[in-house]
Structure 1
Amino acid sequence: MASAITTLAADAPTLSAANTGFMLICSALVMLMTPGLAFFYGGMVRVKSSLNMLMMSFISLGIVTILWVLFGFSLAFGTDSGSLIGWNSDYVGLSGIGITELWDGYTIPVYVFAVFQLMFAVITPALISGALADRVKFSAWVLFSALWVTVVYFPVAHWVWGAGGWLFELGVIDFAGGTAVHINAGAAALGVILVIGKRVGFKRDPMRPHSLPLVMLGAGLLWFGWFGFNAGSWLGNDDGVGAVMFVNTQVATAAAMLAWLGYEKLRHGSFTTLGAASGAVAGLVAITPSGGSCSPLGAIAIGAIAGVLCAMAVGLKYKFGYDDSLDVVGVHLVGGIAGSLLVGLFATGGVQSDAAGLFYGGGLAQLGKQAVGVFSVLAYSLVVSAVLAFLLDKTIGMRVSEDVEVSGIDQSEHAETAYDFSGAGGGISSRGTAAPAPVAAASKKVDA
């Protein structure tokens, strides 16, 4: 992602209506990804917890927006302090920003940059929620989300993208969020599930998606919104880099979907809709950090590698015994690691920067930098997220009771059901009615 730079007064940019409009559209596209994620996750769970899954994503639009305005933007993109965190009192409440004040070195207003970055902050904790399906109190999730973005996301965003952030200064390439978003969320998911434990019936009861059409709808919305997520991260449209990223986003996603389906057919004998949706998301994740530094041919390779690796990784939870409900670790952590490290191999040195990867004569230097970025963010997020989950579990409790989990978290936490099979309605007036029976789906997640 482009970051603040210093320019001479004579070269200072002026506000561009075209770039400003483009970035506002990209911001709206990224916002759409969070409801898309809610559908993607909501279709993958059993019917009795589908509303809860939708809400765990949707609530992030409320929590993170307010925190971002109050202090999050200042922490992430304010003046650097020790290469670890930022602060600018003018950004607190977004109250000291002029309406035409430009983001330093660019042709878009600070307000536009702030709202674009807000949408990244919103979706990142929502990504974590997929690992925790069926078993977490909604109130505990709300508090965890607020604490997590404050002590994990905001600092990591500064490390990676903020002027003066230590990973930014090191030269780690993360065009749109492989480390700050996907590795960050995937590692956090792993940290939390190691604390709160498995679902009742894990590896024993069928836990198939209740609505594959919802999954496909969600995947389509994610794919659509991801063009804003990726192409917009160059913060303008003047030099063609955003256009390359747009093309690479499409190309890598297509390659990953085909690679996942190929692996699935060879390993399990079928091409599943869930595999197609999951493969597409794996490709989107992997190209996020790398698409601004590679060619379209490199994007095909990155997508194909990520599709196979993520398809293989989703079965690790059965081997190692951690209950990653909707494969956040297998897709976002593994895909984010793959895409971030592959920059060190496929960077051409001719797109977003002159940093070249191993295959383009750059040696191992960039790969080493990428590894530092990957594993520092992974370790920090994993440890801090586990500590936050542990403290919340020991105080207010993270999990619902076993009876609630078995009967359905939707009724207990939200006083609603997703589908009205009785004709009595699905809202609070129907709390006394019997919960609907789970609907079996025709497909399930790839198991290794």
Structure 2
Amino acid sequence: MPPGITTLAADAPELSAANTGFMLICSALVMLMTPGLAFFYGGMVRVKSTLNMLMMSFISLGIVTILWVLYGFSLAFGTDVGSVIGWSSDYVGLSGIGVTELWDGYTIPTYVFAVFQLMFAVLTPALISGALADRVKFTSWALFITLWVTVVYFPVAHWVWGAGGWLFELGVIDFAGGTAVHINAGAAALGVILVIGKRVGFKKDPMRPHSLPLVMLGAALLWFGWFGFNAGSWLGNDDGVGAVMFVNTQVATGAAVLGWLAYEKIRHGSFTTLGAASGAVAGLVAITPAGGSVSPLGAIAVGVIAGVLCAMAVGLKYKLGYDDSLDVVGVHLVGGIIGSLLVGFFATGGVQSDAKGLFYGGGLEQLGKQAVGVFAVLAYSLVVSAVLAFILDRTIGMRVSEDDEVSGIDQVEHAETAYDFSGAGGGAATRTAPPAPGAAAAPTNKKVDA
């Protein structure tokens, strides 16, 4: 993602209606990713947790939107303070921004940039929720989101994308969120689940997805929205970089699907729909930081590597004993690390920037920078997220009771169930049997299968 840049008055940009319209569309696409994620996660849980999983994503749309307007945009993209945070009073409440004011060095209004970045801020904590399925109080989750975006996401976004942020100044390449979004969310998920513990019945009870069609629908919506997420992160397409990113997003995702399915067939003997959907997300995650730096052939490599390694990584929770319900760590943390580090190997030096990876004569310099970015964000998010979860767990409590978890978190937390099996189509129904030929119709209580 390009930072704000300073131009001379004579070179000051003018508002571009084309770029502005493009960015508004991209913002809407990124917003769609959060409901898409809700369906993706919602289909992967058991029936009794479906609504809670949907709500854990949807509540982020409300909470983070308000926080972003009040102070989030200022903390992430305000004037740099010590290379670790931003602050501009004009951005507080978005009250000091002129309607026609352009974002620094670009041809789009600041309001458009702010709303585009808002959608990233909304999606990131929603990603964490998949690791916590079945067992977290909804009020505690809402409070966790509030604290987490304030002390983790907003500062990290400034590190990576804000003018003056220390990772940006170091030269870490993160086109659209490998570190700030995916490693950040994946590390946070790991930190929280290490504090709150495993689900009741982990490794003992079957916890299979209740609706694979919902999973596939969610994956399709994520794939669709991701074009806005990635291609829009160049904030326009006057030089073709956004177009390259669009192509690489499609290429890497397709390659990751094939890589995941190939691993699955070799390892488990089947091509599964869950594997195809998960492989697509893994490819999207991995190409997010790298897509502006690699060629389409490089994107194929990024996708295949991510598909295989993420498929391998999801099984680690059973070996290491941490309960990552929906594989946020295995897909988002591992995929974000893979994509960010592969920039150091496959960057061509001819698209987003002139930085070259090891395979293009750049040596180890860029790889070293990428590693610093990866492990700095990972460590910060992991530790701070664990501390936040620990504080909440010891004060208001993070988990529902064991009885409530077993009976179903949907009914306990939301007083609803995802599916009504008591009405029409819910099994057996009472009907009036048709009369015999020539006989008068008579009422009957005979049961006929629906």
| Residue 160 of structure 1: aligned partner | 160
1:299 Cα offset (Å): 0.1
Q: 2:352, 2:292 → 1: CA distance?
A: 6
1:237 Cα offset (Å): 1.1
| Residue 120 of structure 1: aligned partner | 120
1:67 Cα offset (Å): 0.1
Structure 1 residue matching 2:80: 3-state secondary structure: strand
1:120-162 CA deviation, whole Å, 9 max, x = no partner?
0000000000000000000000000000000000000000000
| Residue 71 of structure 2: aligned partner | 71
Q: 2:351, 2:202 → 1: CA distance?
A: 46
The within-5 A match list for 1:175-194 is 175-194=175-194
Q: 2:294, 2:5 → 1: CA distance?
A: 23
1:425 Cα offset (Å): 12
Structure 1 residue matching 2:376: 3-state secondary structure: helix
The within-5 A match list for 1:196-215 is 196-215=196-215
Q: 1:181, 1:425 → 2: CA distance?
A: 42
| Residue 442 of structure 1: aligned partner | none
The within-5 A match list for 1:50-199 is 50-199=50-199
| Residue 216 of structure 1: aligned partner | 216
- Percent of residue pairs bearing the same amino acid type: 91
Q: 1:360, 1:262 → 2: CA distance?
A: 28
Q: Residues 211 and 155 of structure 1: is their aligned pair in 2 closer, same or farther, counting only changes over 3 Å? A: same
| Residue 349 of structure 1: aligned partner | 349
Structure 2 residue matching 1:311: 3-state secondary structure: helix
1:423 Cα offset (Å): 2.1
1:241-275 CA deviation, whole Å, 9 max, x = no partner?
00000000000000000000000000000000000
Paired residue type of 2:190:
L
| Residue 335 of structure 1: aligned partner | 335
Structure 2 residue matching 1:267: 3-state secondary structure: helix
| Residue 10 of structure 1: aligned partner | 10
Q: 2:319, 2:297 → 1: CA distance?
A: 34
Q: 1:364, 1:81 → 2: CA distance?
A: 30
| Residue 396 of structure 2: aligned partner | 396
Q: 1:423, 1:201 → 2: CA distance?
A: 31
| Residue 277 of structure 1: aligned partner | 277
Q: 2:219, 2:99 → 1: CA distance?
A: 36
Paired residue type of 2:107:
T
Q: 2:403, 2:423 → 1: CA distance?
A: 25
Q: 1:302, 1:214 → 2: CA distance?
A: 27
Q: 2:2, 2:228 → 1: CA distance?
A: 14
Q: 2:78, 2:425 → 1: CA distance?
A: 49
1:64-98 CA deviation, whole Å, 9 max, x = no partner?
00000000000000000000000000000000000
Q: 2:104, 2:18 → 1: CA distance?
A: 17
Q: TM-score, normalised by structure 2?
A: 0.94
Structure 2 residue matching 1:59: 3-state secondary structure: helix
| Residue 420 of structure 2: aligned partner | 420
Structure 2 residue matching 1:391: 3-state secondary structure: helix
1:80-117 CA deviation, whole Å, 9 max, x = no partner?
00000000000000000000100000000000000000
Paired residue type of 1:145:
I
Q: 2:374, 2:229 → 1: CA distance?
A: 20
Q: 1:424, 1:389 → 2: CA distance?
A: 43
Q: 1:306, 1:131 → 2: CA distance?
A: 20
For the pair 1:377 / 2:367, whether they are aligned, the reply is no
1:166-210 CA deviation, whole Å, 9 max, x = no partner?
000000000000000000000000000000000000000000000
Runs of 4+ in 1 over 4 A off after TM superposition: none
1:213-258 CA deviation, whole Å, 9 max, x = no partner?
0000000000000000000000011000000000000000000000
| Residue 227 of structure 2: aligned partner | 227
For the pair 1:244 / 2:251, whether they are aligned, the reply is no
| Residue 433 of structure 2: aligned partner | none
1:424 Cα offset (Å): 9.5
Q: 2:174, 2:372 → 1: CA distance?
A: 12
Q: 1:2, 1:277 → 2: CA distance?
A: 30
Structure 1 residue matching 2:279: 3-state secondary structure: helix
| Residue 320 of structure 1: aligned partner | 320
| Residue 431 of structure 2: aligned partner | none
Paired residue type of 1:254:
G
| Residue 290 of structure 1: aligned partner | 290
Q: 2:361, 2:67 → 1: CA distance?
A: 44
| Residue 445 of structure 1: aligned partner | none
Q: 1:312, 1:58 → 2: CA distance?
A: 30
| Residue 429 of structure 2: aligned partner | none
Q: 2:167, 2:192 → 1: CA distance?
A: 25
Q: 1:310, 1:184 → 2: CA distance?
A: 17
Q: Residues 425 and 398 of structure 1: is their aligned pair in 2 closer, same or farther, counting only changes over 3 Å? A: farther
Q: 2:57, 2:422 → 1: CA distance?
A: 28
Paired residue type of 2:42:
G
Paired residue type of 1:219:
A
| Residue 368 of structure 1: aligned partner | 368
Q: 1:306, 1:204 → 2: CA distance?
A: 29
| Residue 302 of structure 1: aligned partner | 302
Paired residue type of 1:91:
Y
| Residue 436 of structure 2: aligned partner | none
Q: 1:78, 1:200 → 2: CA distance?
A: 44
| Residue 444 of structure 2: aligned partner | none
Q: TM-score, normalised by structure 1?
A: 0.95
Q: 1:104, 1:399 → 2: CA distance?
A: 44
